[in-house]
Structure 1
């Protein structure tokens, strides 16, 4: 919660002191793929590949054609898979723990120069609101959503990334979102497994393509 308040305060401070030109805001659409995992949950576990897509705004900051605030509202698939082979008479499993969100990242965006086609960097908080949780072939009773496997309705992450813009319209970005919240706050698989008592944070690597209207 302290991290959430601090990040929110930083965003508000930026909005307060930066020269923001809302009248020159441009809008766009974005879509891409997510590679996600959840640390310390559903062991042994693997990645989930999912979709993200939505809308964005590009708001100028300062007089130069270089720095922007970029809020987005996107459908955002995350979660992880769980896979294990048969071993010593114990049947294996092939499960999917899908968490789907309405996600609101608010990124500070800086182009490396004022050139029309240029690389850029992104950094900022991401606020995820759970809209759907689907579990397929859960491996253990404790993983069931009606037991202890219910995902948190809200989680928070810090994202950073790099991308390339073609004529400030077509943009490709690679981004990593580092989860700071506990995705499964009630899940405690086993006192014999030290990792099961740790925070189960969602980590997402994404590749997206955006088109920004003039």
Structure 2
């Protein structure tokens, strides 16, 4: 909760102390690919490759054509698979743990100069609302569970994803004439993706944080 409040305070303090010009807001569309993993949740554990896509707004901050607030609303695929390169042939290698979100990142965006074509940086919180969770080819019991204690028919054996999670994202990109933009971003989860697996592996309390590396292409209308 403290981390959530910190992320929210960062966003709201930016809005409170800066001169935001909503009347000059521009809108755009964005799409890209995601590479995601979840720490300490499943075994074996490997990356999931999926997509994102949605809309964005570019809201000027101050009179310079350099600083902006960029909120987005996107479909955002994340989660993990069992494809650990050292686990080929092991039960669970072909597993897919797919978490799909309606995601709302709110980024402070700074171009390196006021030039039309320029590099830029992004930083800010991301809020994810779970749309669906799909689990395929998972082992009947994960190795962390004791089969003498856990009923394999229980629906939470592979972990029920939280309906809401959040994190902090940081990224860099390049803008061509402030219209066509390519951005790479890393989002680090600050909340627990699988609350039901809090104490797995047995005797530990390691967080199950979702991490996503993404590459996106955006077009911003004039």
TM-score (normalizing by structure 1): 0.92
Structure 2, unaligned runs of 5 or more: 143-151
Q: Which residue of 2 aligns with 1:85?
A: 88
Check conservation: 1:138, 1:144, Cα contact below 8 A. no
- In the alignment, the residues of structure 2 paired with residue 73 and residue 55 of structure 1 have an alpha-carbon distance, to the nearest angstrom, of 6
Where do residues 104-115 of structure 1 align in structure 2 (5 Å cutoff)? Answer: 104-115=104-115
Counterpart of 1:6?
6
Match of 1:205 among 201, 213, 218: 213
Q: Which runs of 4+ in 1 moved over 2 A?
A: 83-87, 140-145
Aligned length: 208
**C-alpha contact (below 8 Å) 1:182/1:201 kept by paired residues:** yes
1:19–1:45 Cα change, 3 Å: same
SS of alignment partner, residue 186 of structure 1 = helix
Q: Report how far residue 161 of structure 1 moved.
A: 0.3
1:191 Cα deviation after fit: 1.6
Alpha-carbon distance in 2 for matches of 1:13, 1:144: 48
CA 92–54 in structure 1, closer or farther in 2 if over 3 Å, else same = closer
The equivalences for 1:104-183 within 5 A come to 104-141=104-141, 146-148=155-157, 149-183=159-193
CA offsets per residue over residues 32-77 of structure 1, 9 Å max, x none? 0000000011122100000000000000000000000000000000
Compared CA separation, residues 134 and 102, structure 1 to 2 (3 A): same
CA distance in structure 2 between the aligned counterparts of 1:5 and 1:144, rounded to whole angstroms: 38
1:68-79 aligned within 5 A: 68-79=68-79
Q: Which residue of 2 aligns with 1:96?
A: 96
Compute the RMSD of aligned alpha carbons.
1.7
Higher share in strand: 1
Deviations 1:2-52 (A, max 9, x none): 111122122112111110000000000000000000001112210000000
Match of 2:50 in 1: 50
The match for 1:191 is 202
Aligned-partner Cα distance in 2 for 1:76–1:145: 28
Tell me if the contact between 2:173 and 2:181 (Cα under 8 Å) persists in the aligned partners. yes
